[in-house]
A and B are shown apart, each in its own frame.
Chain A
Amino acid sequence: MSIEQIQEEDIIIRNYRTSDYEATLEILKDLNELFDIGFNEKQWRESSGLRQFKPNLKRITLIAELKSTGQVVSMGMIEGVKNTLGQYIGYLDNWATKKEFIGKGVGKLLADRAIQILESWGTDSIRINLAYTTDEKLINIFSKLGFQPIITVLEKRF
């Protein structure tokens, strides 16, 4: 793969299928190594990325696949959650791109599609969970798309 920007026509953005399990497992493991997102390999099952329906929650895992090779290069989960205040919030979670494709614009293409989907679901707002140690460059990219930092999430692990 050449080190060029990836264009919309170079990729297919689609829903996760169980056959994407291995590829997504690799991507999430890499992301966990970089940012310690709390990923547990045993908990990522074949069905974990399927379109999910649960009371007060809708979830889709989007996959970016290279048209030329069929390789999964990026993934991200979108969720629509009704919170206790009655707000319907859209989340972009576990956004990750294969190491060799980072910085090629594929994550942004995926995020644009995710925002379209969350808008179509009628969410009141969209939130993105980023690692605390995220590069400021990434925050700037998202602020150009209209995202402003509003919450810091603290976590205690058991």
Chain B
Amino acid sequence: MSDIFDKTVKKKPKEDLCVVYVMFFDEKRGQVPLLMYPDDRLRSDKRYMRPINFHPVWFLETEDLDHIDLEYKGYTFFGKKFLAKSKRQKRRAGLEEETPETIVIIVSIPVEIDIFGDELIKRLTEELRENFDDQLSEVIESEIASEAVIKTPKIHECISKGTKIKVFMRELIDKTIKDYFSKAIENRAESTSLKTQKAIAYFSLKGFEFSPLSSLKGDGSFANLELFETSKKPIELIGPKSILSITHLNFIENSQELEITIQNNTDKDLTNMSVTITHVKEFFEKVIMTQKVEFWFSLEELLFVSPIVPHINEYLVSIKQEDDHGNSNKILTHKIDLKLINKISS
């Protein structure tokens, strides 16, 4: 395990799980951290901030790609960019008060549990946008005001208002993370996927909530599950099955191709779908294959065959659906590691 998130900052047990960075675009200074979870002091720690400065999320368009992930020293960093309402007077010519604020959320979690990252960053973004869309510009204003050398009572008031909002934001982030991991672990406990089992093993080894001994479960537990529980029936998944699911993955060694079989799990035909296979090289996401699927019948399995890039093992499958207005909605994102899938000769 990498030591970039090591002992210098005092942590509670579950704070190892993830670090959340909420950043904003300052017209003078560029990307600046607005809030960090679990501890705001991390913003002055170079080891935490180094990967953030190079994350490809800065090149992400807010409208097109949904999010980008980057692997760095044993951690996967998921980054998502969006625009928030603003009434703040900008410090660059040509920008109006109404020019929206550019907010970036980055979540870093250990690679062993990165299967949870996609959904977690989506939830965090949704929660923050839903609850703080109108207030983010006030927090930014307070962040900028805190840099002022001479602080007038008005500036103090502005800083205090922003600080209060930040407390609520941090509480929301904390609650969202705990709720998410608790449910995600319960829902996936019976999964036969190697990646999921690896993630659960990680939680177990870290002594989170899967300890076989109930007595070890305390406040730090996320889920009411035990690793070797035999008395209960298998837990049924709550909520509807996902729209699409990957049913088979093969790596064809002869032709150096990746075969991905994906099923439409719904009882409806899907239209205007687009399937993209990418890989991240250095800090840039490169598209290897994009296929348009005009119609995808109910319960139909489709086979996508993508070439691979020599010496690159990790790929990302993204599936989007375009609505009548030309807006794309992400339906599925899945990371594929060639080292973990079937290898066949032809």
Binding site for B on A (CB under 8 A): 15, 17-18, 40, 42-43, 47, 50-55
Contact = CB atoms under 8 A, between A and B. Distances in A.
B198 interface: no
Given A15-B297, A43-B346, A51 B307 contact: no
A148 B248 CA distance: 40
Contacts of A51: 300, 302-303
A29 B289 CA distance: 33
Q: Is the interface of A mostly helix, strand, loop or mixed?
A: mixed
Nearest to B289: A55
Contacts of B259: 47
B275 A50 contact: no
Contacts of B303: 47, 50-53
Contacts of A40: 346
Contacts, number: 40
B291 A53 contact: yes
B261 A15 contact: no
A55 B307 contact: yes
Q: Is the interface of B mostly helix, strand, loop or mixed?
A: strand
Interface in B302-331: 302-307
Given A50-B301, A53-B293, A54-B305, 13 more contacts: A42-B346, A43-B346, A47-B301, A50-B261, A51-B300, A51-B302, A52-B302, A52-B304, A52-B305, A53-B291, A53-B304, A54-B289, A55-B289
17 contacts: A18-B301, A47-B250, A47-B301, A47-B303, A50-B261, A50-B301, A50-B303, A51-B300, A52-B303, A52-B304, A53-B291, A53-B302, A53-B305, A54-B304, A54-B305, A55-B306, A55-B307
Nearest to B292: A53
Given A43-B346, A55-B289, A50 B302 contact: yes
Contacts of B306: 54-55
A143 B346 CA distance: 35
Contacts of A42: 346
A129 to B, nearest CB: 19
